[in-house]
């Protein structure tokens, strides 16, 4: 397998990361996960826009323009013959003697590689079980940063309880999942946290909101309370890798009928047409 390392393609086992890479030591960097369907990256431009936005928010200069990065990633997918899977893209601020402030002479380090993965078809049909957990992350969750410890601990709490996702809440309000955005349906209206600093502005979230508008499903972007989540008719999560996945139980309590609800299924069908 070839990986993209700066602007070169090299075999994975030839890549070397310095022990003083700031991504490695401080989580000082950003990333994207991009889905590949039929050999083509889905919503690539939106991912590259978000990547550039994350870089600018942490005051990091990227070595490639979005246009150049697009060409490099397309070549990566082609070279590895990836048809179904994901592209992982990250940039760290680079390597310099360990010290918190930005180093003066430091070039950001871009890495990208491909992963084969089939669509989570069974999960889409049957749904997932979730827990609720306190959102202990920082206040800039809109930046797709490499600091994922808050997400890792929440996801592990879910796994420890036999579940697949942790739905996070801050001050009694549902923010998002540990690696997904969260939607609920109440009396036919779709409700999800507004795209502010407390959540990642998910690209799948944006696609789903657009599809809901096209389908004539009313949408409210407001943070639901945890109690409202428990009373919801339907709950689902969205992400690049999970698509539109129904949530059938939360903290052991059944959501709605305990199976994917009608609004969720409508949005799943509409999403399926987008990627087809
Ligand atoms: N996770 N919220 C968080 C905290 C995320 O990490 C992600 C993505 C999302 C969904 O965003 P999108 O629809 O753009 O994938 C929401 C990626 C897939 C990951 O870390 O693996």
pLDDT (tens digit, 9 = 90+) per residue, 170-211? Answer: 999 999 999 999 999 999 999 999 999 999 999 999 999 999
Which atom of ligand 1 is closest in space to residue 176's alpha carbon? 2
Which atom of ligand 1 is closest in space to residue 241's alpha carbon? 18
Q: 176 CB under 6 A from ligand 1?
A: yes
Q: According to the 3-state scheme, what is the secondary structure of 182-248? A: EEEEECCEEEECCCCCCCCCCHHHHHHHHHHHHHCCCEEECCCEHHHHHHCCEEEEEECCCEEEEEE
Q: Count other Cβ atoms within 10 Å, centred on residue 266.
A: 15
Q: End-to-end alpha-carbon separation of the chain, Å?
A: 27
130 CA from centroid of ligand 1 (Å): 16
Per residue in 122-131, pLDDT (tens digit) is 999 999 999 9
Q: What pLDDT does residue 105 have?
A: 87
**What structural domains does the chain harbor?**
2-116 (3.30.470.10), 121-275 (3.20.10.10)
pTM metric for this prediction: 0.98
Instruction: Tell me whether 0.95 is exceeded by the ipTM.
Output: yes
Two tokens at 189? 């209206």
The position carrying tokens 């999560």 is 237
Ligand 1, atom 8, residue with closest C-alpha: 179
Two tokens at 111? 């890495």
105 CA from centroid of ligand 1 (Å): 31
Going by C-alpha positions, the residue among 159, 144, 2 that lies closest to residue 72 is: 2
Per residue in 202-253, pLDDT (tens digit) is 999 999 999 999 999 999 999 999 999 999 999 999 999 999 999 999 999 9
Residues 6 or more apart whose Cβ sits within 8 Å of residue 214: 270
Q: Quote the CA–CA distance of 239 and 241 in Å, as a whole number.
A: 5
Per residue in 92-112, pLDDT (tens digit) is 999 999 999 999 988 999 999
Q: What pLDDT does residue 228 have?
A: 98
Give catalytic residues, as residue numbers.
144
Contacts 24+ apart (CB under 8 A), 14-17: 15/111, 17/109
Q: What pLDDT does residue 146 have?
A: 98
Going by C-alpha positions, the residue among 157, 151, 156 that lies closest to residue 136 is: 151
46 CA from centroid of ligand 1 (Å): 13
């Amino acid at each position: 397998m070839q990986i993209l390392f700066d602007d070169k393609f090299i075999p994975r086992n030839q890549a070397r990361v310095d022990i003083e890479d700031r991504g490695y030591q401080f989580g000082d960097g950003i990333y994207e996960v991009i889905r590949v369907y039929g050999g083509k990256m889905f919503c690539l431009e939106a991912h590259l826009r978000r990547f550039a936005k994350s870089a600018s928010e942490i005051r990091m200069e990227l070595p490639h323009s979005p246009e150049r990065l697009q060409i490099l990633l397309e070549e990566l997918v082609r070279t590895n013959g990836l048809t179904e899977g994901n592209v992982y893209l990250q940039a760290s601020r680079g390597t310099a003697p360990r010290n918190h402030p930005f180093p003066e002479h430091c070039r950001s380090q871009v890495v990208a590689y491909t992963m084969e993965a089939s669509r989570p078809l069974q999960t889409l049909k049957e749904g997932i079980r979730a827990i609720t957990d306190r959102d202990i992350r920082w206040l800039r969750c809109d930046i797709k940063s490499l600091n994922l410890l808050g997400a890792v601990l929440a996801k592990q709490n879910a796994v420890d309880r036999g579940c697949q996702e942790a739905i996070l809440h801050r001050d009694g309000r549902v923010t998002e999942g540990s690696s997904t955005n969260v939607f609920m349906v109440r009396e036919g209206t779709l409700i999800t946290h507004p795209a502010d600093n407390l959540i990642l502005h998910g690209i799948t979230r944006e696609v789903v909101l657009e599809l809901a508008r096209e389908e004539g499903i009313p949408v409210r972007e407001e943070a639901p309370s945890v109690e409202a989540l428990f009373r919801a008719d339907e709950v689902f999560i969205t992400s690049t890798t999970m698509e539109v996945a129904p949530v059938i139980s939360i903290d052991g309590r059944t959501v709605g009928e305990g199976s994917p609800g009608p609004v969720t299924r409508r949005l799943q069908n509409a999403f399926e047409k987008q990627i087809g």
